[in-house]
């Protein structure tokens, strides 16, 4: 039985102000656990947002340039199997080459 997961930012202390720079996968795409699905920025650094579980990314709630609120979902993923607890995601800084 599939379940719906609302992708949320983990609440960090202090909470950085992130903006969505780019969606790397469109709605309707099957994503794998740990796959980079978006690029975020805090104004000086860029970060990857990774899928916390495998599933179908069915909807984005944020568009490029939108400020992200840690209390609001960024995207919706539908996953297979029994519903389970899935942690919020922490953006991972992109290391320059």
**Domain-embedded: residue 79:** yes
Question: For residue 9, is it within any domain?
Answer: yes
Domains identified in the chain, total number? 1
pLDDT score of 24: 98
Tell me which long-range contacts 79-85 makes (C-beta under 8 A, separation of at least 24).
Answer: 79/2, 79/3, 79/5, 79/53, 79/54, 79/55, 80/2, 80/54, 80/55, 81/1, 81/2, 81/3, 82/1, 82/3, 83/1, 83/3, 84/3
Q: Within a domain: residue 96? A: no
Structural domain contains residue 91: no
Segment-wise mean pLDDT, segments of 10 residues, the chain, 97 residues: 92 86 98 97 95 97 95 95 87 84
Structure token digits, residue 36: 């980079």
CATH number at residue 18: 2.40.50.100
Instruction: Tell whether 89 is covered by a domain.
Output: no
Contact between residue 73 and residue 85 where contact means Cβ atoms under 8 Å apart: no
Q: What is the pLDDT of residue 97?
A: 63
Tell me the residue range of the domain where 79 lies. 3-84
Closest alpha carbon to 7 in 81, 82, 60, 44: 60
pLDDT tens track for 73-86 = 999 999 998 888 88
90 belongs to a structural domain: no
């Amino acid at each position: 039985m599939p379940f719906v997961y609302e992708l949320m930012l983990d609440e960090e202390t202090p909470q950085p102000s992130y903006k969505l720079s780019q969606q790397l996968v469109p709605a309707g795409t099957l994503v794998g656990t740990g796959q980079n699905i978006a690029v975020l920025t805090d104004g000086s650094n860029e970060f990857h947002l990774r899928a916390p579980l495998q599933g179908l990314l069915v909807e984005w709630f944020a568009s490029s340039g939108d400020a992200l609120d840690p209390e609001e979902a960024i995207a919706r993923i539908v996953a297979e199997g029994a519903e389970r607890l899935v942690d919020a995601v922490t953006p991972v800084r992109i290391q320059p080459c």
